[in-house]
Amino acid sequence: MKFVIFTILLYLLLATQGISYHIFYPVTGVWPDLAFVLVIFCGLKWGRIKGAQVGAFAGFAEDLLSFGSPGFNFLGKSISGFLAGFLRERFVNDSYVTRIAMVAGGTLLDLGIYGLISSSFLEENHFVEIISKSAPLVFLNTGSMFVLFPLFNWLDKISSPASSDRKYIHNPYAG
């Protein structure tokens, strides 16, 4: 059930992201990557494996719907989801400062992966453009995090059965 809800949510976020292009692009030159915010949330909430899986799924869906080079979003979001989960499991706690740092750092990492791959394989140098657009994109992704993370938490809560609602079978062999 959780997979279905978050898959529908991903496609709604991608549609909203396409609509936000017309709102934000004329002003800032970038638009928020809402699927990326979902990937970071899943990595922080569910760990590195689920974060990488959601990142791969979201990146693949974004690659299918975009006119860019295929595989860039897949790779960037997979690595970002994995690293968010890895850092959450090993080093960091779940606070607003951590979330801001993960979204901002992950956005820069995603942009860096895109710049590295595009300059390596496509022989196009986008680093100057990426550097000039990184600050507005970090600001938009971090700002959208404050709206989307509570929504994601609510959806996660309603799609998972509460531990108090579960019926446990009495084990006569337990001590």
Domain boundaries, the chain: 2-156
CATH number for the region 2-156 comes to 1.10.1760.20
Burial of 30 (0-12, 13-18, 19+ CB in 10 A): buried
* Residue-level pLDDT, tens digit, the chain, 175 residues: 678 888 899 999 998 988 888 888 888 888 899 999 999 999 999 999 999 999 999 999 988 888 777 788 899 999 999 999 999 888 877 788 889 999 999 999 998 888 888 777 777 777 778 888 899 999 999 999 999 999 999 998 888 765 444 444 444 444 4
Tokens 């295929």, located at residue: 70
Q: In angstroms, what is the C-alpha Rg of the chain?
A: 18
Give the Cα separation of 98 and 104 in Å (integer).
Answer: 10
Neighbours of 144 (CB within 10 A): 20
Residue 64's SS3 state is: helix
